[in-house]
Structure 1
């Protein structure tokens, strides 16, 4: 059994590995993935491998910001509701027209939003300030030079770095990449993670449970967590509690796996198959000064000429997902080239008094109130209480030296809904 039975459980903390030391160990397990070029529609959520500079300005030419009429400012300078100005309309300029006739003095061109400004034009009169004429237009209000125009390069200049190495590519970043002419981008390949779910008691959700069986959930949860942080996950379910079966299950996947991620089977019980199978294959098992999630394992699985990084997480579901957030997620983000590897942190006010075990860093599930800049726990401290984790939008981090944190104290939280 692990230490995850509640805050009151005591453990000799003098032999525990510090959280930060163990996190650094996990981070150093994974090498950076290779760079490759990817079409834009395959880049969402990936990390940029190189800076992207603009070969063109944005906008690429002076254009109208409104549907209306391109004019010379002097020609409408005296226009108002009592003294409108009427001009002949000598051209239509829809967006995308390539050949644009010059605007002669004393005339107007009807122009659409985004259309290139004709030579000689100094402003655009919105259609709402006119009678909307097509052959002649009556302007009811003067517009100064430069009105309602988008100037070439006012957003982006030629040679400007528009996206930076390590940036996570979202919708706006991909839109900008396309706007400056990129059909593909240099990215880091997502880390490929084999998520291994062991346990003879596990059955697939949707089937009938027999006495002593439980639905497999950790594999689903961890595979989703891998994908959420930009990795590729392959879920290998229902490996029985037999050492030979575990080795056989791993063998076909070693060539294309950057990390083997397991949950369960790492404590001190009699049927700890992950520990039994991997302890002699280059994986080290330790106790870390964290609650929940004290029993941990890491190293390399060496078999059939392959040497694949391994992280083994505890089996209680909250222990498993908290351990992923604290130790595995930063390593995957770093290997995938992301500049931001950890969740956003905030210092907020605690609304209740909490107890924490001395010598261990405790992570509690929380609900963050941004208006009050305060946090309240979500569910109890037990590592089997998954519903509280599902309801949480943050993790509270209570330091090792704290045994009691009073209501009104300032605490660190990790925002789970961001990054």
Structure 2
């Protein structure tokens, strides 16, 4: 029985299990997803400190930059970041202070060195300012960045280098994250050989396994290419046994109704099939099942052999599952509305996901479809960045129509 794409993703995600959290170092946590809420342990900055090299002093209301009797402060010392002793200053005194050093007691203002002039009077150093300062000028206030107890990272949030900086600034050196899932990859077909091998007259290179592996890696998983199975039940079973020590298995080809498409039979014998056919173009022959792994039940994704079908199914179904394993709060591609630049014909009578290139033209998102939508045209993917959703009951979506697009590469949309 054929199901619709919405049902398919619901079945997949409902049965996807998040991995148990692990504690890792800050560097290892980069681009991982937090398994817990992390709060600040400190006020940051820890104390009021100077944002400039300059002079700290007490600014009074009667300050007059042109009155030398008022605008003249005795320099009574220097203060550097890391100094253990924080001096106090009196009215009419100033301390030379470096960026990051704590503000001395009694000071309420800093004037940068560029706006100050040193004069000597009877062997004493005085500073005269060439600008009229304001209270709290160039002072970083304690807790102005973070206040103790404030949330730094939400559960399920991606820990980017910017979050790493916040964690390190709070003295946190380890965090709990969701582990990267290990995903085994199989290919099926007598005609397949590995890239780098000598091409024979009856062979083709296995591009699917490497496309799948790179998409898994981009999604945060650990790809594990098992190999190429022959179109024989024994070969498929042997390769499947080598894949069970993983968090999911992905197989390309052998899932349709051909005389040598044995994947469905092998998986049915060794596990339980949830569905086998999805009402979509491309990607109709799509099998989702669970097989017995090493001490656990493993999701099995059976994809067709056509490269475009593989990548569409990866984007729409497999990658969201892999992301959910890692704690993503929203594992789906970004969905946008764009205006169609040229019409798209849908002759499949199924939900069509057409490759398009979305561009920002004068503030408007324009979707440019490709003229060829065949499932073997790999080049169309390298030029596109989204999948336009053409409903099953829509035979022609005309130019100028609004279309929903799932963006899988937003690097070129400004």
TM-score by length of 1: 0.90
Which range moves more in the overlay, 78-87 or 237-246? 78-87
SS of equivalent residue, structure 1 residue 73: coil
Give the match for residue 389 of structure 1. Answer: 381
**SS of structure 2 residue aligned to 1:347:** strand
Matched, 1:72 2:55: no
Residue 410 (1) aligns with residue 402 (2) = yes
- Secondary structure at 1:250 match in 2: helix
How much does 1:198 deviate? Answer: 2.6
Deviations 1:143-180 (A, max 9, x none): 11111111111121111112111111111122212222
Say if 1:201 and 1:212, in contact at 8 Å, map to a contact too.
Answer: yes
Residue equivalent to 2:211: 221
**C-alpha spacing 1:363/1:120, structure 2 compared with 1 (3 Å):** same
Give 1:53-132 correspondences, 5 Å limit: 53-74=39-60, 77-79=63-65, 85-131=71-117
Question: C-alpha distance in 2, partners of 1:226/1:188?
Answer: 15
Query: Which segment is superposed worse, 236-245 or 75-84?
Result: 75-84
User: Which of 112, 137, 151 is 1:161 aligned to?
Assistant: 151
Kept after mapping to 2: 8 A contact 1:330/1:342 = yes
Residues 103 and 19 (structure 1), Cα distance of their counterparts in 2 relative to 1, 3 Å cut: same
Go from structure 1 to structure 2 and tell me whether the alpha carbon gap of 1:136 and 1:359 turns closer, same or farther (over 3 Å shift): farther
- Contact 1:379–1:389 (CA under 8 A) maintained in structure 2: no
Which structure dedicates a bigger proportion of its chain to strand?
A: 2
1:309-329 residue CA offsets vs partner (Å, 9 max, x unmatched): 211111111100110111111
**How do 1:252-291 residues align onto structure 2 when only pairs under 5 Å count?**
252-254=242-244, 256-284=245-273, 286-291=276-281
> In the superposition, relative to structure 1, how do residues 399 and 128 fare at CA in structure 2: closer, same or farther (>3 Å)?
farther
User: Are the aligned partners of 1:358 and 1:401 in contact in 2 as well (CA < 8 Å)?
Assistant: no
**8 Å contact from structure 1 (residues 397, 411) kept in 2:** yes
The alpha-carbon distance between structure 1 residues 96 and 268, as it changes in their structure 2 partners (threshold 3 A), is same
Q: State the alpha-carbon separation in 1 of the partners of residues 119 and 6 from structure 2.
A: 71
Does residue 368 (structure 1) correspond to residue 354 (structure 2)? The answer is no
Residues 57-90 of structure 1: CA deviation (Å, up to 9, x unaligned): 1222111122222121229921259999343322
Per the alignment, residue 211 of structure 1 pairs with 201
SS at match of 1:320: helix
After superposition, the CA RMSD in angstroms is 2.4
Bigger mean CA offset, 238-247 vs 185-194: 238-247
Distance in 1 separating the partners of 2:394 and 2:156:
36
SS at match of 2:32: coil
Deviation of the 1:364 alpha carbon: 1.4
Distance of 1:306 and 1:189 partners within structure 2: 16
Distance in structure 2 (CA, Å) of the matches to 1:132 and 1:209: 80
Determine helix, strand or coil for the equivalent of 2:152: strand
* Cα distance, 1:156–1:81 mapped onto 2, change above 3 Å: same
How far has the Cα of 1:207 moved from its partner? 3.1
More divergent stretch after superposition (267-276 vs 52-61):
267-276
Tell me the alpha carbon deviations over residues 259-307 of structure 1, each in whole angstroms, 9 at most, x when there is no partner.
1111111111122242342232224352211111000111112367653
For residue 33 of structure 2, give the secondary structure of its aligned residue in structure 1.
coil
Inter-CA distance 262–136: structure 2 relative to 1 (3 Å threshold): farther
Structure 1 equivalent of residue 335 of structure 2 = 345
- TM-score, normalising length from structure 2? 0.91
Q: Which moved more, 1:380-389 or 1:357-366?
A: 357-366
Counterparts of 2:57 and 2:251 in 1: how far apart (Å)?
Answer: 69
Partners of 1:133 and 1:69 in 2: CA distance: 14
1:377 aligns with 2:360: no
Tell which deviates more after alignment, 326-335 or 82-91: 82-91
Between 1:241-250 and 1:322-331, the stretch displaced more is 241-250
Please show how residues 254-333 of structure 1 align to structure 2 within 5 Å: 254=244, 256-284=245-273, 286-302=276-292, 307-333=297-323
Deviations 1:345-375 (Å, cap 9, x if unpaired)?
Answer: 1111111111124642211112111233211
* 1:250 match: 240
User: What does 1:29-48 align with in structure 2 at a 5 Å threshold?
Assistant: 29-48=15-34
Where do 5+ consecutive residues of structure 2 fail to align?
none
Distance 1:359 1:171 in 2: 46
Q: 183-192 or 243-252: which moved more? A: 243-252
Match of 1:196 in 2: 186
Q: CA 1:101–1:304 in structure 2 vs 1: closer, same or farther (change >3 Å)?
A: closer
Rounded to whole Å, the distance in 1 between the matches of 2:59 and 2:260 is: 85
